[in-house]
Amino acid sequence: MPREPNAAGPGPLLVACALGIERLALRGGSDAGAATVLRTGMGPAHARRAVAEALRADGPLRGAAVIASGFCAGLAPGMHPGDLVVADETRGPLGTTPCTATGPLAAAVARALPGRTVHTGPLLGTDHVVRGRERAALHATGALAVDMESAATLHAALTAGPRPVAAVRVVVDAPQHELVRIGTVRGGISAFRVLRAVRPVFLEWHRSLLLPRR
């Protein structure tokens, strides 16, 4: 289980994503220096390796809070490109990782992006792109959405030491809206814009970890 941040605060903020287009969206803004955005590469093995290296004990990010972000595939009927998924836990081959302060984070996302649907639930990690009938099978396990890196990212983060962790993803395709290429269709462009817009919420979540719990 993730531990509560200590009185000294949660340390710096590391936002991990897989793709260059995700990193481009997440690096924008006048507060670009407030978080480190790490491109891990695609797949769980790359995510685990990159996050472990970033959080090494002798490095400047050793005590960082970690957010896994980027795009995901929605599993539930009725989801649309541009919807947001705030995970309450990630599930992967190495186990389940509960996320920190999911309720406040989801509420902050909803406030920041009025009109966008925000889903909260389990985020599943796989080692391949999910399409077609496999979606329904994975949704039947209780998972809300799927990606290849979030579960590995958060597991690696907590393996490196106790810290706040979260996962926020933007749906880029869904059961009735499957995409082939992220950047060349309307749904992918919408998801990119949403990912860019949600970045300030990550900083708000990170700052909130400094506040005393009531």
pLDDT in tens, 138-184: 999 999 999 999 999 999 999 999 999 999 999 988 766 555 544 44
| 51: in domain | yes
The domain in which residue 138 lies consists of 13-208
**pLDDT of 214 over the 90 cut:** no
**pLDDT of 196 over the 90 cut:** yes
| 41: in domain | yes
**Mapped to the 3 state alphabet, what secondary structure does 61-94 carry?**
CCCCEEEEEEEEEECCCCCCCCCEEEEEEEEECC
Q: In percent, how much of the chain has pLDDT > 90? A: 69
| 213: in domain | no
Distance between CA atoms of residues 41 and 210, nearest Å: 31
For 56, other C-beta atoms within 10 Å of its C-beta total 11
Q: Is 171 exposed, middle or buried (0-12, 13-18, 19+ CB in 10 A)?
A: buried
**pLDDT of 16 over the 90 cut:** yes
- CA–chain centroid gap for 198, Å, is 11
| 113: in domain | yes
Q: Can you give the CATH number for the domain in which 150 is found?
A: 3.40.50.1580
pLDDT tens-place string over residues 56-111: 999 999 999 999 999 999 998 889 889 999 999 999 999 999 999 999 999 999 99
Query: What total number of domains does the chain contain?
Result: 1
pLDDT of res. 99: 98
| 7: in domain | no
Size of the chain in residues: 214
State the sign of the Cα–Cα–Cα–Cα dihedral 133, 135, 137, 139. negative
For 115, other C-beta atoms within 10 Å of its C-beta total 6
Residue 99's nearest CA partner among 198, 176, 1, 195 is 1
Enumerate residues 6+ apart whose C-beta is below 8 A from 202: 13, 15, 35, 67, 69, 168
Q: What is the CA radius of gyration of the chain?
A: 16
CB 141 within 8 A of CB 55: no
| 17: in domain | yes
